[in-house]
Amino acid sequence: MSETANQKRDVDGDTAIDRHLEREYEAGWVTDIESDTLPPGLDEDVVRFISAKKNEPEWMTEWRLEAYRHWLTMDHPKWAHVHYPKIDFNSISYFSAPRSQEDRPKSLDEVDPELLRTYEKLGIPLHEQEMLAGVAVDAVFDSVSVATTFRSKLAESGVIFCSISEALQDYPELVRKYMGSIVPYRDNYFAALNSAVFSDGSFVYIPEGVRCPMELSTYFRINAENTGQFERTLIIAEEGSHVSYLEGCTAPQRDENQLHAAVVELVAHKNAKIKYSTVQNWYPGDSEGRGGIYNFVTKRGLCAGERSHISWTQVETGSAITWKYPSVILRGDDSVGEFYSVALARGRQQADTGTKMIHLGKNTRSTIISKGISAVRAENSYRGLVRISPSADGARNFTQCDSLLIGDRCGAHTFPYIESRNPTATVEHEATTSKVSDDQLFLCRQRGLDPEKAVSMIVNGFCKDVFRELPMEFAVEAGKLLEISLEGAVG
């Protein structure tokens, strides 16, 4: 502790006048460090510390600092339909070492039985349960070798799939070219914060004409622990390439951080296709709304080239607060953007999620299918923007967002913004809100299903259009996940 304080004082003595000195100092400083954890608080030194810790090139450090300085000038956004106590950004530690083995549960016996019951229902093998619950095991099963196998296979086809930190060392020119080009740090409050302090994330590069031989999943990438809080993902698909990326998993993961502010950037060049699927099931807090993850994510894709295609699919069931709008900028002519979403909020969860489709190119097409389910006392909002700019001749959008209400104290809201400035474009939006119909329930029960099973079946049917878009394994899991999440919400 005193060590860290000393270092802090040293750095405070810095002046911006002598850049060279500062750089030398920084480099020396890193080797000095013995403690791997920063005390809570955020200032320029913290940003420099994180950057230095990762041995980042100077431009990266500068970019982080610019982002931080810009963040200081911004106000916490208030427009979303969510309510939470003010976040004290100085009470968060922006860099911490992996938890030591002593702090962890020694075996599954020490893990919350509720969590184990969920794992069991999802059919997760025992050793994976241990990993997810963060149990201290000497040899975490053979995930390392699994990862290595995958990597060599990917390398054969020229696909780069590594952490952002590694990419900054090995492919700095690629990262420099694209990072912040889709989500600039000026974009919004949380994007600025993420740009300043991002810990790690994934980097994917698919070379020209390559069809990625497997579905890429964060699940298989060995992430340093505690990188989830300010994650940054960058996926680049060169001309004619194709990739499907899976993020998250259905099992509830142990997580120490309450605030998550991730940024995801996708770039699809001519004829390329990126399919990005997310299943998010973080801790939603207890039934009274205490605790739970705040999930403030900026996800955006750029259809840069002609006939490029970006598709977002998400199943959001976790987090106390979700604030997330995966978007597509349709710049290339004939490019396609898609958004398929199931957002389930129960208990006291609040979700404000949706998408933005910005049509710039000619004959661009976008489809938005959003299914919101609110149960008990949850608040679920769809917020979407479809913008047809004057240049988007022949653009086409279809939006459908349906809400299902379970319980008379929950809320379901729809805020679709439609802005059209081109007469040759066609925009269609439909939204409905209703509860699980008594007729449907009656029919199911008459055939011998108990109410819970009946509701879960109806809800599954309601979400079918979205589940169909998920990779197969994910779709099966997502169905199960919904069923489990709805337990206790019915009746």
Establish if 79 lies at the interface with other proteins (CB under 8 A): yes
Q: Work out whether 424 is an interface residue with other proteins (CB under 8 A).
A: yes
Taking the mean position of all CA atoms in its chain, how far away is CA 458? Answer: 28
Asked whether position 426 contacts other proteins by CB under 8 A, the answer is yes
Q: Which stretch binds other proteins (CB under 8 A): 161-169, 357-365, 400-408, 476-484?
A: 400-408
* In contact, 121 and 486? CB cutoff 8 Å: no
Q: Residue 236 CB, nearest distance to other proteins (Å)?
A: 33
Q: Does 432 engage in binding with other proteins (CB under 8 A)?
A: yes
Give me the count of residues in the chain: 491
344 binds other proteins (CB under 8 A): no
Over the window 375 to 394, marking each residue x when it contacts other proteins by CB under 8 A and - when it does not, the resulting string is -------------x-x----
Whose tokens are 């976040």? That residue is 87
In terms of phi and psi (left: phi > 0; alpha: psi -120 to 50; beta: otherwise), the region of 273 is beta
* Closest C-alpha to 457, from 473, 445, 466: 445
Instruction: Establish if 410 lies at the interface with other proteins (CB under 8 A).
Output: yes
If one asks whether residue 419 binds other proteins (CB under 8 A), the answer comes out as yes
369 near other proteins, rule: CB under 8 A: no
Determine the interface stretch with other proteins among 195-203, 361-369, 419-427, 447-455 (rule: CB under 8 A): 419-427
Q: Which of 87, 116, 174, 418 binds other proteins (CB under 8 A)?
A: 418
* Cα gap 382→401, rounded to integer Å: 8
CA atoms 128, 130, 136, 139: torsion sign: negative
Rounded Cα distance between 390 and 259, Å, is 39
Residue 290 CB, nearest approach to other proteins (Å): 22
Q: How far is the CB of 265 from other proteins (least distance, A)?
A: 26
275/469 Cα distance (integer angstroms) = 10
Q: Which of 4, 367, 420, 440 binds other proteins (CB under 8 A)?
A: 420
CB 42, min distance to other proteins, A: 26
C-alpha torsion angle, residues 287, 289, 295, 296 (rounded to 10): 150
Residue from the set 428, 450, 473, 487 that interacts with other proteins by CB under 8 A: 428
DSSP per-residue codes, 81-129: S---PPP-GGGS-S--PPPPGGGS-SSGGGS-HHHHHHHHHHT--HHHH
Residue from 143, 367, 422, 440 binding other proteins (CB under 8 A): 422
- Contact between 417 and other proteins by CB under 8 A: the answer reads yes
Name the token pair of 454. 């009946």
Residues 6+ apart with CB under 8 A from 363: 333, 334, 393, 394, 395, 396
* Position 74 contacts other proteins (CB under 8 A): no
433 belongs to the binding site for other proteins (CB under 8 A): yes
Kindly tell me which of 79 and 446 has the beta carbon lying closer to other proteins. 79
Q: How far apart are CA 193 and CA 69, in angstroms?
A: 10
**Is 491 near other proteins (CB under 8 A)?**
no
Report the residue from 39, 134, 158, 416 that binds other proteins according to the rule CB under 8 A.
416
Nearer to other proteins, 423 or 448 (CB): 423
Residues making contact with other proteins (CB under 8 A): 79, 388, 390, 403, 405-435
